[in-house]
Amino acid sequence: MTDFVTVARVDEIPPGTVKTVRAGEDEVALANVEGDFYAVQAACLHLHGPLGEGELEHHWLHCPWHGWTYDVRTGLNDFDHAIELPTYDVRVEGDVVQVRPG
């Protein structure tokens, strides 16, 4: 199993924000939901919009291009649960956030 890699400092991603980070070969949207971190694939499943530049509303992540919305906790699309973004394991170690690449 792949090891966790450090992707950001905790203070780089305040609660309520999301950012694109790189975990190994994977581009990941890393979200801070009230202090809990979640990571999903950065490319939207519609037309590959950059979810790390989207808007986070509690646990809902809105794609900046056409507004598809995902639950960052599960990767599920809010409208169609057959649409599911890959998610990643996340942990906080001291003052850094780590993600396990897929």
Interface contacts to ligand FES, rule CB under 6 A: 44, 46-47, 49, 63, 65-68
Neighbours of 15 (CB within 10 A): 12
Q: Which runs of consecutive H residues, i.e. helices, occur in 6-97?
A: none
28 vs 97, beta carbon nearer ligand FES = 28
46 vs 91, beta carbon nearer ligand FES = 46
Least separation in angstroms between residue 47's CB and ligand FES is: 4
> How far is residue 25's CA from residue 55's CA, in Å, rounded to a whole number?
24
- What is the residue type of 60? W
Least separation in angstroms between residue 62's CB and ligand FES is: 8
Least separation in angstroms between residue 48's CB and ligand FES is: 6
Phi, psi of 6 (to 5 degrees): -75, 130
38 vs 52, beta carbon nearer ligand FES = 52
Q: Token digits for 72?
A: 């960052």
